[in-house]
Amino acid sequence: MELEWLKVLSSPGMWIIAFITVGNSIIQTLLFFRVSKKTAVQIGLKKEVVGNTIKTAFVSAFGPAMSSFIGMVVLVAALGGAVAFIREGAGIGSIIFEFAIAGAGANAAGATLSREGMTLTAAAVILWGMALTCVPWVITGGVCARWLPKLKDSFLSKKPQLMTLVSTAAMIGMFGKFSIDYAVQPLKTGSFATPFAFLSGAIASFLWVKLADKLQKPALKQYLMLVMVAVGMIVGQTIRSLTGQ
């Protein structure tokens, strides 16, 4: 039986919104393309440059774009196809960010980010949250793009390392809190499967990154999310079956 929240998030209405969202981005690119094509001729680029650029870009972008496929698997499984299409097709944050807001949203609504634990209210918190946390990016990088060159010498760009460190520490704080939700709290109710899934995901992540570094194959990190999720799901489900929970 399909869950109510998932049914709503995958409803035709949500798919229409998904096409409007991604459609807006496509309209933007088509309008930009019209100007760029004209400018290419104006600045004296050869006639075939535009066509060749598109072909080369398709080839160059294919590999990196496919890496998003792994993120899509996780996002579709958690929030349904339509929301995943919206977020990956015309959203701004990374998968890490998407799940940070999804986890925080579910938590704020008193739910958990699982098929049985999710509610329609939690889904609404997540959707409001995703919009509210992405809008500042559209303002700074889109609405205010015209003024970015003037801002480049501001204090913000003076100490990018400090700024990134502070943000990363805050992000660690946010994910640190999830250790309560998924490793400590379930133990109080005698549930071992969720904490084991959390810990095995953490261990898998650590080992996979170390392996990629040791083999000097950073491309392996593209599969990190798939590995930690697969390991965590297998361990969690096995523990649940063994304990009969």
Partner 1 sequence: MTQPIENTPSTPDSSKFFGMSPLPYEEKLKIIQNEYSPKIHKIGIPIAIIHIFIMFLPAIYLLAAYGVWPGGGTILNAVVPLWAVLGVIYFIEPLQYYLALGTVGTYVTFLAGNGPNVRLPTAVATTEVMGIEPGSPEAEVVAGISIIASQWLMAILILIAALSITWVIGILPPVIVKAFDFLAPALFGGMLVYVGMQQWRYMAIAVAASILLYFAGVPSILITILLVFFMIALSYYFYRKGIWVPKKIVSAATEDV
Q: Check binding of 33 to partner 1 (CB under 8 A).
A: yes
Q: Check binding of 199 to partner 1 (CB under 8 A).
A: yes
Q: Check binding of 242 to partner 1 (CB under 8 A).
A: no
Residue 116 DSSP symbol: T
Backbone angles phi, psi at 45, to 5 degrees: -75, 150
Q: Which of residues 214-233 bind partner 1 (CB under 8 A)?
A: 221-222, 224-225, 228-229, 231-233
| Min CB(93)–partner 1 separation in Å | 6
| Residue in the structure block whose two tokens are 């919206």 | 86
Question: What mask of x and - would describe binding to partner 1 in positions 83 to 122, judged by CB under 8 A?
Answer: xxxx-xxxxxxxxxx-xxxxxxxxxxx--xxxxxx--xxx
Count interface residues toward partner 1 (CB under 8 A): 174
Q: Check binding of 175 to partner 1 (CB under 8 A).
A: yes
Residue pair 118/79 in contact by the 8 Å Cβ criterion: no
Residue 141 DSSP symbol: I
Q: Check binding of 53 to partner 1 (CB under 8 A).
A: yes
Q: Which of residues 55-74 bind partner 1 (CB under 8 A)?
A: 56-58, 60-62, 64-69, 71-74
- Angle at the Cα of 91 (from 115 to 229), degrees rounded to 5? 40
| Min CB(238)–partner 1 separation in Å | 9
**What is the residue type of 16?**
I
Q: Which of residues 128-157 bind partner 1 (CB under 8 A)?
A: 128-146, 148-149, 151-152, 154, 156-157
Closest by CA to 138, choosing from 91, 202, 191, is: 91
The residue (of 140 and 243) whose beta carbon lies closer to partner 1 is 140
d(Cα 198, Cα 183) in Å, to the nearest integer?
6
d(Cα 45, Cα 42) in Å, to the nearest integer?
8
